[in-house]
Amino acid sequence: MAQEEKIKSNQYTLSGALDSNSAWELEFSYMRRIFPYIGIGAGINIYHQYSDEISASGGNVPGTSISQWILSNNSKQATGLVFNPFVHIKTPTLFHIDEMGVNIFTEPGLSIAFLTDKNVGVNYWNGSGYYDTKTFYGHGGNWLYWHYRIGGSMENEDVVLSMGYFASNIDFYSYKRNIRIENVRLGDNLPKKHFNWGIFISLGYKF
């Protein structure tokens, strides 16, 4: 009971994750505990795809097998910055491993995509290579989503080590789906909308 009473109200957390969109995610968050087992917080999350998931090309140059245009290398992977406010709910300590208490937690919250790549660069064939570049801009995408985390933690008075599962309805390609390049709609070449899910690990510091 004495250990449970020594509650530090504030916590910084650094989290890393891999998700179902072939992307890594990195988040820095702050949480304030308003009750012993309930806290509210917010984080800044950056994601970036580590493989080329965006692909499209124009028709062949007449008489050749060369595409009239291709996407630039920087346009083949989605990148964005997301603001994540959340509520943290955890159980009391279930058991101890050495001096670390083990609990289960859940974090429902929102995802606000306030900075995301909304355009693609296109390289055109000019007879000797893909050098002529043009940018196409997307519009009309969604920016508000939900996200949910569930996991387990080991913690003492100063640090928290957590691991778990997360899911969200965020669409990395929301602003890109309606881009039309010549007679090609980019959305027809993108992965279908699906729940983004993955595994995360995090390290927190209480103060």
Has residue 3 got a pLDDT over 90? no
Percent of the chain with pLDDT over 90: 91
Beta-sheet pairing, 119-125 with 130-137: antiparallel
pLDDT band at 70; cut points 50, 70, 90: very high
Report the pLDDT averaged over residues 167-180. 96
pTM of the model: 0.91
Give the closest residue to 29 by CA, choosing from 197, 166, 142, 175: 166
Q: What is the CA radius of gyration of the chain?
A: 22
Structure confidence at residue 10 (pLDDT):
98
Contact 54, 33 (CB under 8 A): no
Q: Strand order in 69-71's β-sheet?
A: 69-71, 119-125, 130-137
Residue 39's alpha-carbon distances to 9, 93, 108, in angstroms, are 9, 16, 11
Q: Is the pLDDT of residue 2 over 60?
A: no
For residue 132, what pLDDT is reported?
79
pLDDT of residue 7: 76
129-160 burial, b at 16+ Cβ within 10 Å, e below that, comes to ebeeeeebebeeeeeebebbbebebbbeeeeb
User: What's phi and psi for 4, nearest 5 deg?
Assistant: -65, -30
Give phi and psi for 90, each to the nearest 5.
Answer: -130, 160
* pLDDT for position 131: 85
pLDDT digits (tens, 9 = 90+) for 108-153: 999 999 999 999 999 999 988 998 799 999 988 999 999 999 999 9
Sign of the Cα torsion 70, 76, 80, 86 reads: positive
Helices H / strands E in the chain, number of each: 1, 14
Which two structure tokens, joined as six digits, stand for 75? 């346009």
pLDDT in tens, 25-40: 999 999 999 999 999 9
Tell me the pLDDT of the chain averaged across its residues.
94
Residue range 78-107, pLDDT digits in tens: 999 999 999 999 999 999 999 999 999 999
Asked whether residue 23 carries a pLDDT value surpassing 90, the answer given is yes
